[in-house]
Chains A and B, each alone.
Chain A
């Protein structure tokens, strides 16, 4: 058995040394980039980054295109508060299961095909938004358009496949943040397009319908770009890698088993519901809140609402960066503490927002709330890539799906009917954030520790990631990618782990493991 493993290792070694030279960026033994060059389009790493964040951005623009135009749509369709609330819930509930399915699809066919397919399948819902004439129609188009939010999972999966552990938090954070920004940008774009079309000469009830073609076209074009220019992994697309035997085509039931039996995935799913889920809820309710409570017009309400979503340009990446920074000094324990502190602060500002009575005060608190809430999202996905290597897609999907469940729950409990005024709903939602963030303290990695307890002595990252593969599968060498990941994630042990002789960033390409 040892000889066969050495042979497999040797083949991989020879390939590595030849291929590493073809990448413009410095890479680790997995060919994942060890640096993040934001303004470059270097193939394949940075190109994948720009394709994934932009296509995800377009999905957000479409999914939240309706809220800023609700003052017009609600009159055209004669909607009631209940109708609007139901549609808001529908817009985020489709993605709960779509994100799980997307996670699995990424594990099986790769993020490029999975995301582009989903985006192209949901664009008709965006175009048909211009044709609806009833509350039911409104609910259905928002429901089907919302499925596209599952591209979040493919974004995170793709970044986790392209970027090495020391940079994965940052890459995930920027891609996720710049995509989420679509929820803010749309609150500016849609009113602007609507006003422009009205100026050209349309009536209001026609103008909003025409406006919906903008997000639709953006979405279609971005999906085509992903298909034409994207690549699943640094070494190629899944179908090419499967054919060459370089990538073992995993089976669904094993991937599924290892995801659902990992309790850390479930906890992160819950807590993500109270940063990202809350963000989605705010995207849905905040423009109407400012329009109705403070009497500002559609454009002004849209601008204020936009500031919440646009904060994502720095806040979520900031969260990812902060996670990577904490990991440098404190390893995984730092990442977990950072997540808990930042998300709790987000909850505190949400509570304050519900109690602020002035327009100016509300805007200031909203901005602070957005910074912490979105940074928490970035910090969450600084932890997720380490929960599982084999079932990375499904774990990302669970986390992402949990985010949407949080959005469904908060809208259902606090904003669906006239039981609470919107400001009271915001206040209680803040309290719920504080409570539902506590479970982070329960997450423990035996190789690195958790918030409250240290690591299990003698337990290595190799032990953790190898335990996802059976003895039989290890004999066949299916787990080699997991082992490479384990080596490259040694730094998550914090400063003490680095005393064992590994370099500051990652294992350099030239040295390959001689022991398995």
Chain B
């Protein structure tokens, strides 16, 4: 309690670390133009199993846009995003207009160089949790900042929502081990009780 005195230099250093800010302009989702048209082979209400099922996602630049609209697009990042029903009462999946704080899309499907059209077949990864999803693609510029997007669902995120069922993680090995170790604890206790009772007599 008495020994905790921070020197002025240490405080200054800590402040420096904490206050260091990167490219500081906050990118807001509401300001991103929806220039990509994104579709997936999943239909509304489909159920896919992690580690087994696949779907294909296709993206294309909206052809009705003026030429050169995609001049600064360097990379495309396609993500799996939580639907509102899976965000309910779960602060760690909350949507935020400030994209730095946004937690809607947590899993990357693919990240590749930009081309006006693209397509990717994706096998649902084994670490995707059970939830309802849609697919969103961001166009990134040379500094990896999001500059445009497109998604498979509407603005309210209600259409084209599909489900993924994650792996349980309960393997046979774990099951057997849990039973064996638990039984051993019980047996050990019983053994010592018998010994104690013998000592009593």
Q: With A120-B189, A127-B182, A131-B175 as given contacts, are A239 and B200 in contact (CB-CB < 8 Å)?
A: yes
27 pairs from A and B in contact (CB 8 Å cutoff)? A75-B166, A78-B131, A80-B89, A80-B90, A116-B189, A117-B189, A123-B181, A127-B181, A127-B182, A130-B170, A130-B174, A130-B177, A205-B127, A205-B129, A205-B166, A209-B170, A213-B181, A216-B181, A220-B181, A224-B192, A240-B199, A243-B200, A291-B92, A315-B1, A358-B18, A371-B4, A418-B91
A78 in contact with B129 (CB, 8 Å): yes
A74 in contact with B169 (CB, 8 Å): no
Residues of A within 8 A of B (CB): 71, 74-76, 78-82, 113, 116-117, 120-121, 123-124, 127-128, 130-131, 133, 203-206, 208-210, 213, 216-217, 220, 223-224, 227, 239-240, 243, 291-292, 315, 318, 358-361, 364, 367-368, 371-372, 375, 418
> Nearest CB to that of A227 among chain B residues?
B192
Q: How far is the CA of A78 from the CA of B17 in the complex (A)?
A: 35
Q: With A209-B170, A358-B18 as given contacts, are A124 and B192 in contact (CB-CB < 8 Å)?
A: no
Partner of A120, one of B88, B89, B186: B186
Would you call the interface of chain A mostly helix, strand, loop, or mixed?
Answer: helix
> Nearest CB to that of B173 among chain A residues?
A210
Interface string of B160-182 (1 = CB under 8 A from A): 00000011111100110110011
Q: How far is the CA of A75 from the CA of B164 in the complex (A)?
A: 12
A81 in contact with B174 (CB, 8 Å): no
5 tightest Cβ-Cβ pairs between the two chains A and B: A205-B169, A124-B182, A75-B129, A80-B89, A120-B189
Further 12 A-B residue pairs, CB within 8 A, beyond A81-B90, A131-B170, A205-B129: A78-B129, A81-B89, A116-B189, A123-B182, A127-B178, A205-B168, A205-B169, A209-B169, A209-B170, A213-B177, A371-B1, A418-B89
B182 in contact with A128 (CB, 8 Å): yes
Q: How far is the CA of A406 from the CA of B116 in the complex (A)?
A: 60
Chain B residues positioned under 8 Å from A223 (CB to CB): 185, 188-189
Chain B residues positioned under 8 Å from A358 (CB to CB): 18
A360 in contact with B92 (CB, 8 Å): no
Chain A residues positioned under 8 Å from B43 (CB to CB): none
Count of chain B residues near A, Cβ 8 A: 39
Residues of B within 8 A of A (CB): 1, 4, 6, 14-15, 17-18, 86, 88-92, 126-127, 129-131, 166-171, 174-175, 177-178, 181-182, 184-186, 188-189, 192, 196, 199-200
Q: With A81-B89, A133-B170, A360-B17 as given contacts, are A368 and B4 in contact (CB-CB < 8 Å)?
A: yes
Q: How far is the CA of A210 from the CA of B177 in the complex (A)?
A: 10
Chain A residues positioned under 8 Å from B188 (CB to CB): 120, 220, 223-224
Chain A residues positioned under 8 Å from B131 (CB to CB): 78
> Nearest CB to that of B106 among chain A residues?
A75
Q: How far is the CA of A79 from the CA of B130 in the complex (A)?
A: 10
Chain B residues positioned under 8 Å from A127 (CB to CB): 177-178, 181-182, 185
Partner of B199, one of A116, A209, A239, A360: A239
A208 in contact with B92 (CB, 8 Å): no
B89 in contact with A82 (CB, 8 Å): yes
Chain B residues positioned under 8 Å from A372 (CB to CB): 1
B174 in contact with A209 (CB, 8 Å): yes
Chain B residues positioned under 8 Å from A224 (CB to CB): 188, 192
Chain B residues positioned under 8 Å from A292 (CB to CB): 91-92
